[in-house]
Amino acid sequence: MMKMGVHTLATIAILALASSLTYASDPSPLQDFCVAINDPALFVNGKFCRDPMLATADDFFFPGLNIPRSTANSLGSNVTLLDVTKIPGLNTLGVSLARIDFAPYGLNPPHTHPRATEILVVVEGIIYVGFVSSFPANRLFTKLLYPGDVFVFPEGLIHFQFNVANTTGVTFSGLGSQSPGLIVIANNVFGSTPPISPDVLTKAFKLDKNVVEFLQKEFYTTS
């Protein structure tokens, strides 16, 4: 009964996101729907639309989000993002959905979504979450979440999720964009292509140059 209640709560949270955050970042649709055409030769702000008469139910469908994903990696987490690339019917609708699986003590590291607010609901595990406000305050907002708890991460702010339980964890997130974007702070800074000059990172992070070069090698191979 407890699990059923939590799953119901997850559904309510996602529906709430759909009704309240549709206008958070993406422009409003000018028709009922605009099923995306994946043409790598065309670049626009969003996706071109398929003829609506050719749309099918499968354009709005993704199966199997109930299936746990592997967390056998150094972070102990796995994010399954259902954005417009996975569900073409999301094009112009301004929402997407993510499932995050956590191993015991698994981490979804500090990152940002440049185009989306995120609302997260915990289904399993005990998840320590937080976000940092922008300069000059740089305030850290944190909370320990249990199954059924919900937390919001404002658009563009650095945030994280960490399963502090010795059991697996599962969360679901609604995001206010069909393509929320992802910047993983450490990967982007230390694993960029080509690499940022070690002199820049040494001065910016007040680190020894040997440490910076070590981190660049580590993150470049895992990015």
113 labelled ligand-binding:
yes
pLDDT digits (tens, 9 = 90+) for 43-72: 666 788 889 999 999 999 999 999 999 999
pLDDT digits (tens, 9 = 90+) for 96-133: 999 999 999 999 999 999 999 999 999 999 999 999 99
27-31, 33-37, 87-91, 92-96: segment of lowest average pLDDT: 27-31
Percent of the chain surpassing pLDDT 90: 74
111 labelled ligand-binding:
yes
HEC string for the chain: CHHHHHHHHHHHHHHHHHHHCCCCCCCCCCCCCCCEECCCCCCECECEECCHHHCCHHHHCCCCCCCCCCCCCCCCEEEEEECCCCCHHHCCCCCEEEEEEECCCCEEEEEECCCCCEEEEEEECCEEEEEECCCCCCCEEEEEECCCCEEEECCCCEEEEEECCCCCEEEEEEECCCCCCCEEHHHHHHCCCCCCCHHHHHHHHCCCHHHHHHHHHHHHHHC
Task: Give residue 22's pLDDT.
Answer: 46
Q: What mean pLDDT, rounded, does the chain reach?
A: 89
108 labelled ligand-binding:
yes
pTM of the model: 0.85
Task: Give residue 88's pLDDT.
Answer: 95
pLDDT digits (tens, 9 = 90+) for 184-197: 999 999 999 999 99
**Structure-model confidence comparison of residues 30 and 179, the more confident one:** 179
Domain ranges of the chain: 57-181, 188-220
Q: Which CATH superfamily is domain 57-181 in?
A: Jelly Rolls (2.60.120.10)
**Structure-model confidence comparison of residues 183 and 4, the more confident one:** 183
